[in-house]
Amino acid sequence: MASEPARAAARSTRAVLTEARARYDDLRPSERRIADALLADPEAFASRSIGEIAVQASTSTTTVVRFTRTVGYERFRDLRRDLAEQNLRARLAIAAVDVTSPDVSAGDGMEDVVARVAASESLSIADTAATIDVAALTTAVGAIARARRVDLFGVGASGIVAVDLQRKLSRIGRVAIEWPEPHAAWTAAAVLDEDSVAIAISHSGATDETVRFLRLASESGATTIAITNHDDSPLGRLADVVLRTAAREAAPLRSGALGSRTAQLLIGDCLYLGVAQLDADGAMDALRRTYAAVGRTLPNA
């Protein structure tokens, strides 16, 4: 399993709001007040100094520095830089669909619902693309390409993402199996080996069934890959490779199946295309044959 320092060193940009939400429950009360200020008004937070934030949160500058390190930064100015970039992506996504916020409320009309969902999912894609660990993604692609078989598992909306990736890998000739229920997934994971890859998908990284699947796969010697919003989670700590999403799931009417699923699908598509690139001729041949099997011709073939 990759060490936390190694993972941290590999990240060039972070989704600051995602980091703050992920670690919120573990913060001290004084640090939570800083997190509350950040989450309530990210734009204002990005423009303030350490001293101004300390005053706003009724705490010390030392506590602000400690909070900065807790969410993964050595320097406060780096946190502000990444937060400013994330705020810009939010402004652009919101402006593109002419809404003031991506959050859906009970009184919104259907036109507003469409616009806000579009903004929310665009933000999840933009933040994930900006913060994905490309080195980890490259490692995962190589492991999948070399694997004798790939087993995938997720619960609920994450299971839909597992099905999607399994279908894509199968279409280019990879042996990929998606397990629809925990007992089947666990028994399959228990007999994997070092020539296998196990991919576990969970937004929280704490879904018991998914964590157990990855633990069994790891104990069997398989290369383990986690797709999750929280790398410092039970699932993230188990995995050899963590592919982290940066989905925002804060509003009361927004279930975890919205932005998180969209971000997970983005990572799945990157994995699929990365594997296809490594054997482009083989992938194209497999696609032609699978198109022919259903009586169709591959476009532009």
Mean pLDDT on 141-169: 96
What pLDDT score does 23 carry? Answer: 84
Average pLDDT, the chain: 87
3-state secondary structure of 172: coil
The Cα-based distances of 224 to 1, 190, 236 in angstroms read 9, 13, 10
What distance in Å separates the CA atoms of residue 279 and residue 163, rounded to the nearest whole number? 22
% pLDDT > 70, the chain? 86
What pLDDT score does 95 carry? Answer: 65
Q: Which two tokens stand for residue 237?
A: 């700590």
Q: What is the DSSP string of 103-144?
A: ---TT--HHHHHHHHHHHHHHHHHHHHHH--HHHHHHHHHHH
Mean pLDDT on 221-233: 94
What pLDDT score does 12 carry? Answer: 44
What distance in Å separates the CA atoms of residue 35 and residue 130, rounded to the nearest whole number? 22
What pLDDT score does 165 carry? Answer: 97
Nearest to 7 by CA among 230, 200, 168: 230
Mean pLDDT on 120-146: 90
Q: List domains and CATH numbers for the chain.
A: 4-94 (1.10.10.10), 134-293 (3.40.50.10490)
Mean pLDDT on 25-51: 92
Mean pLDDT on 189-218: 97
Q: By the 8 A CB rule, do 131 and 14 touch? A: yes
| Number of CB atoms found within 10 A of residue 31's CB | 22
pTM of the predicted model as reported, rounded to 2 decimal places? 0.77
- Per-residue pLDDT reduced to its tens digit, 156-203: 999 999 999 999 999 999 999 999 999 999 999 999 999 999 999 999
- Per-residue pLDDT reduced to its tens digit, 76-128: 999 999 999 888 877 776 666 555 556 666 677 788 778 777 777 888 888 88
Q: How confident is the model at residue 5 (pLDDT cuts 50, 70, 90)?
A: very low
What distance in Å separates the CA atoms of residue 128 and residue 285, rounded to the nearest whole number? 31
Q: By the 8 A CB rule, do 223 and 198 touch? A: yes
What distance in Å separates the CA atoms of residue 53 and residue 231, rounded to the nearest whole number? 27
Q: Which two tokens stand for residue 72?
A: 């993964």
What pLDDT score does 100 carry? Answer: 55
Q: By the 8 A CB rule, do 126 and 226 touch? A: no
Whether residue 256 has pLDDT greater than 60: no
Whether residue 219 has pLDDT greater than 60: yes
Whether residue 253 has pLDDT greater than 80: no
What distance in Å separates the CA atoms of residue 147 and residue 210, rounded to the nearest whole number? 21
Residue burial 48-62, b: 16+ Cβ < 10 Å; e: rest: bebeebbebbebeee
What distance in Å separates the CA atoms of residue 258 and residue 265, rounded to the nearest whole number? 11
% pLDDT > 90, the chain? 60
Q: Alpha carbon 1 to chain centroid distance?
A: 18
- Per-residue pLDDT reduced to its tens digit, 238-249: 999 999 998 866
What pLDDT score does 92 carry? Answer: 74
What pLDDT score does 10 carry? Answer: 39
